[in-house]
Amino acid sequence: MAKANEKRDSRIFESFAYHLVAIDREKRHNSDFAIKGQAYAFDSTTIDLCLSVFWWAKFRKYKAGIKINTLFDVVTQIPAFVHISPANVHDVNAMDRLDYEPEAYYIFDRAYVDFYRLFKITLHSAYFVVMAKTNLRFQRMYTIKSNKENGVKSDQIGKLTGYYISKDYPQKIRRVKYFDKETERTFVFLSNNFDLSAEEISYLYKNRWQVELFANG
């Protein structure tokens, strides 16, 4: 059996695994999720390996490792896509492996702030919510009125400034500043969705933690 599997194309097992995943996701569809539509959280986990055994996965001088990139369906609580890469590959490169669904939401942390790749999501008629980096260069065009009692400190529409990032993402973008009372932290989110409320944008990002719970569970 081991020799037979060694000769088989691994894509056979991959296709069968995703077939089973599709069946499970359909059975676990949850219409009670607060945001209508499909929502995914994307993140990576690095797994350390023994270099003497896994020599092909060299990570550092005396360490081996791989990185598992997971697209987690936050509605059904099932991973929809998994990609394994060398541990030293930057997280944003795994975004190139995703097939974006129109009208779906994709949630990222700040490690995935790559405006060229984020603009691809817009071109696929899908939506993203990502935590902004502190060095964000953003020029406000106008402000959306919001209820600050719900933690929303500001909700603005504008454009990215800077020669390169303005070319990578030439369209308008939304910036939401939100204060979370539970953690007493202020978050700044970026999104290409202009229809959801600022509270809903924040709710989507809050559900990003589900992929980390899954990876560390």
168-197 tens-digit pLDDT: 999 999 999 999 888 889 999 999 999 999
Is CATH 3.40.605.10 what the domain over 9-216 is classified as, yes or no? no
Task: State the sign of the Cα–Cα–Cα–Cα dihedral 211, 129, 91, 40.
Answer: positive
Tell me the three state secondary structure of residue 38.
Answer: coil
Q: What are phi and psi of 205, to 5 degrees?
A: -65, -35
pTM, two decimals, is 0.87
Among 65-69, 111-115, 204-208, the range of highest mean pLDDT: 111-115
Mean of the per-residue pLDDT values of the chain: 88
99 vs 8, more confident: 99
In this predicted structure, the answer to whether residue 96 has a pLDDT above a threshold of 80 is: yes
